[in-house]
Amino acid sequence: MQVNYMENKKTTSKDTMKSLPKEERPYEKLLGYGAGSLSDAELLAILIRSGTPKISALELARNLLDTPQNPGLDGLFHTTIQEFKSFEGIGEVKAIQLVALTELCRRMARGQAKKLLSFNDPDTVADYFMEECRHYETEHVMLLLLDSKNHLLGTETLSRGTVDTAVVTPREIFVTALRYRAVGIILLHNHPSGDPEPSEMDVILTKRVQESGRMLGIALLDHIIIGDHDAVSFYRDGYIRHDDDDALEVEELPVLLDSADRTIRENT
């Protein structure tokens, strides 16, 4: 009896990839036509490098991008190490590499946005924080602290909340601003829903902070809400305006800060 050994040979992921025409294999396609010619799955397959005896790297990449909970490239930002490891062919090393990849993508986007960053231009501020904030699954409230020339003194995260709320008070905001001896502040927070439209509570908080800032001599320059590739600026979009009283002479600042500091200490 003649045995056909070829029929009994198990198909491996390498065989599957090699069965593709040469010009359709991700590595060869990139070399021949450039990275722009590859699909998201093909680019991801190159980074994954290998699959399993049952599934090729390309199929594995497609599976990663086709999950109902976190579909597409954006979904990778929301996938944890443990969730990556639940896919056949993804062990701890690959899972760590994928999480590292998403962080590199965030930092590259932020690095590009930093070149255009101006705290006088709300669009550039929103762009700078977009990749960091739009992927948060709960609300984060951040405070940007500025000097008399609108240079950044520091950034503080004041609150990490739930999917639709984060609690922060004017007192917390201005205690932090006084600690930095800031002249101006910008509030910034995200809406995990992706819709940056301000809620009623967002508007109330902004007005309270603006009024408190006038008393303390620390101007609220803007409140920016980050959505999914979209943002609202309270100043740009007309929710607040800068009165002459908000602008401080630099020589007045030390006196105002000392007075405000005493006032807060007396009430805490």
Q: Tell me the average pLDDT across 167-173.
A: 91
Contacts of 76 (CB under 8 A, 6+ apart): 64, 65, 70, 98, 101, 102
Structure token pair of residue 217: 């001599």
pLDDT of residue 37: 92
Band of pLDDT at residue 226, cut at 50, 70 and 90 = very high
**Cα(216)–Cα(237) distance, rounded to whole angstroms?**
25
Examine the pLDDT at 78 and tell me if it is beyond 90. Answer: no
Structure token pair of residue 132: 């960091």
DSSP 20-86: S-GGGSHHHHHHHH-GGGS-HHHHHHHHH----SSS-HHHHHHHHHT-SSS-HHHHHHT--HHHHHT
> Average pLDDT, whole number, for the chain?
83
Q: Strand 184-190 relative to strand 152-160: parallel, antiparallel, unpaired?
A: unpaired
Structure token pair of residue 186: 């910008």
Asked which of 32-46, 233-247, 251-265 is least confident by mean pLDDT, the reply is: 251-265
Question: Which is higher by pLDDT, 20 or 106?
Answer: 106
16-63 confidence digits (pLDDT tens)? 666 666 667 888 999 988 999 999 999 999 999 888 888 889 999 999
Examine the pLDDT at 257 and tell me if it is beyond 80. Answer: no
pLDDT of residue 10: 47
**Cα(43)–Cα(234) distance, rounded to whole angstroms?**
39
Band of pLDDT at residue 182, cut at 50, 70 and 90 = very high
* The pTM of the whole model exceeds 0.75: no
pLDDT of residue 1: 46
Residue in 219, 222, 218, 220 with CA at minimum distance from that of residue 231: 222
Examine the pLDDT at 96 and tell me if it is beyond 90. Answer: yes
Examine the pLDDT at 264 and tell me if it is beyond 50. Answer: no
The secondary structure of 128-181, three-state, reads HHHHHHCCCCCCEEEEEEECCCCCEEEEEEEEECCCCCCCCCHHHHHHHHHHHC
Q: What is the DSSP letter of 11?
A: P
- Phi and psi, residue 88, nearest 5°: -60, 130
The answer to whether residues 93 and 49 touch, using CB atoms and an 8 Å cutoff, is no
**Cα(237)–Cα(97) distance, rounded to whole angstroms?**
41
